Structure 1
């Protein structure tokens, strides 16, 4: 079958891959809408752990079920479902410890396009359909469901781990697609003031629509100074890291409030080495600032809850889709767009009509 793969670090291409083999709890699906992610860009161009030869890429997908295993109860061929980017092995022992995203190994929750074949292919396997696939409610569009499988859940994860309380001041560092949904999540959790950091006009406009009360730019001076000036020297109750280089981690510690400030990181830092922890703003180790470093929440229940937010008009993530392409072959174009980040891009959706 035709599949878009990582040939070697920095090189992608099309490959005649073997078709997936059905498992008793699993389902074989074909994608009807996909979108490349910055994580796909990191996988191809950013190094990281060694990947299997000709690894099929992709982990953001809405798909049609073609076959189900003999032990699948809730799904059938013909169902159109949202496929979560984060697919924990819910039968792993570590799940009982609440370790949903790293239960059997580091990043074991992030398997698609990383440790198992991804969704950029004519067919793909989900090993455990009932615990993974999400039913799409009536009235929810393909674009909306597609944004939920990664972007919405990651942005909301960032907001949730920022421990936001009613009336808080929150900073969102980076307003790409993840940061925009972190802004939306912070608003829903009760943040009164949301300072979003970014400069691309298409993102600035949407950040304001989603709930940012102010948008700050690095072009206007040091971001930490801007935040501290606007908070009368106190800093932010919560800082959500959704983009930027290694320096943003240090800046987050600098701008978080002493005693109650919480830093929630869903940002990816490439390469090796260390992230700098500032001694002074870290209170020389005693500042009382909490740091969370989190992989997005996934699984069926999580995505179905987010889809309810769309169904009842609470969020409108389809506004993130700025570009639409057609046909599986356009995945390569969409990935290049995510790498190059043209100024008018937020997310590129590839729609696939198999008829």
Structure 2
């Protein structure tokens, strides 16, 4: 049986290289060799914060572009050698939840998130994709590997946060957190018609991209509570929509809800970890009767979602490559890129690792 090498979560708080058998390709599936991968803060939550519990020798990673190596007998749209974009979320499209419009929750909560959750991820020489025809997208001409890799999770998640925030045309929006997901939410909010667009964060590299993506005001959370600054800047009115894309469980939800107008929407795309409960502030939420709506979700997957995001890049609506600040080359550099995400230097938004595998 052929084997391959991958970078894995050995157990909680421990990573390392493992060798595994190449996964079997089912009749509707595909085996991919990655050409570009990117670590995510989610990988950090998984390994060092126990956000999804313990995993043994599970290959990490869920953001990839790659080349098809093998397809199943029922796959119609792809063949070996095709370059493809692989969404981070690969739903089971025949599941009941998908048919109700919630494909990222197929089989169980977060069930569409398979890579580095329920099965090995993309940080290896090979990886498996279920339902290839529905989940993969042929790489369009004019899109770089690095840019495409930013679509599969960062853009999809951040823009879903904006989509869920019920942004009225010309409405005011606050995005809390300006990492890659928050920046993507800013890009999405502008495309959805936001007027005044507040971005809460401090890193200069992210502030620069936030402005390029459409932020009109930058809020430094070190200067005081975010909601108090928003209220001051809006003459007490607050904002129509809030996207939570960072922060902590102690203060962020209170500040988000306290920033919203009556009838506004708070949309969470932050991967919550570190505690078992989320505290919703009673008074700021109007004792539960403020008409401030709270929404959440796991980003959509699938080929149609990837095509739409790719079109935003291809037709110049926004530029995904603005998120990429660090580039590595070679399989062994995946480890360095992941630990860079863990260390979070001030000049980092997202790293990518370029691969040229046999």
Matched, 1:251 2:280: no
Aligned to 1:72: 75
1:4 corresponds in structure 2 to 7
Match of residue 172 from structure 1:
175
Corresponding residue of 1:315: 318
Q: Which residue of 1 aligns with 2:62?
A: 59
Structure 1, unpaired ranges of 5+: none
Distance 1:28 1:277 in 2: 43
Unmatched tracts of structure 2, length 5 or more? none
The answer as to whether partners of 1:51 and 1:115 remain within 8 angstroms in 2 is no
1:314-337, Cα deviation, whole Å (9 max, x unpaired): 110101110000001111100001
* Distance (whole Å) between structure 2 residues aligned to residue 12 and residue 206 of structure 1: 32
**2:28 aligned with 1:41:** no
**Separation in 2, partners of 1:77, 1:236:** 50
**Aligned partners of 2:11 and 2:55 also within 8 Å:** no
Task: Report the equivalent of 1:163.
Answer: 166
Q: Is 2:304 the counterpart of 1:301?
A: yes
Which stretch of the first structure deviates more once superposed, 96-105 or 45-54? Answer: 45-54
Structure 1 range deviating more: 75-84 or 247-256: 247-256
Distance 2:241 2:80 in 1: 44
State TM-score, norm by structure 2.
Answer: 0.97
- 1:32–1:352 Cα contact (<8 Å) kept: yes
Aligned to 2:335: 332
CA contact (8 A) 2:37 2:149 kept: yes
Aligned to 1:145: 148
Q: Deviations over 1:133-168 (max 9, x none)?
A: 112211111111110001010110000000011110
Secondary structure of the structure 2 residue equivalent to 1:143: helix
Alignment check: 8 A CA contact 1:152 1:178 kept: yes
Match of 2:32 in 1: 29
**Structure 1 residues 28-61: Cα deviation after superposition (integer angstroms, max 9, x where no partner):** 1100100000001111111123344211111000
Q: Which residue of 2 is the match for residue 220 of structure 1?
A: 223
Structure-1 separation of matches of 2:202 and 2:341:
17
Q: CA deviation at 1:273?
A: 2.8
* TM-score relative to the length of structure 1: 0.98
4+ residue runs of structure 1 moved beyond 4 angstroms? none
Q: Which whole-Å CA distance do the structure 1 matches of 2:302 and 2:253 have between them? A: 28
Match of 2:120 in 1: 117
What is the CA–CA distance in structure 2 between the aligned matches of 1:181 and 1:14, rounded to whole Å?
Answer: 31
Per the alignment, residue 275 of structure 1 pairs with 278
| Contact 1:195-1:215 at 8 Å conserved across structures | yes
Q: 1:262 corresponds to which residue? A: 265
Cα displacement (A) at 1:354 = 2.2
Show the counterpart of 1:136: 139
**Take 1:49 and 1:318, find their aligned partners in 2: how far apart are those partners?**
30
Query: In the alignment, which residue of structure 1 is the partner of 2:184?
Result: 181
- Comparing 142-151 and 86-95, the one that deviates more: 86-95
Take 2:161 and 2:61, find their aligned partners in 1: how far apart are those partners?
22
Cα deviation, residue 271, structure 1:
3.1
Assess if the C-alpha contact under 8 Å between 1:250 and 1:275 holds in 2: no
Q: CA RMSD in A?
A: 1.0
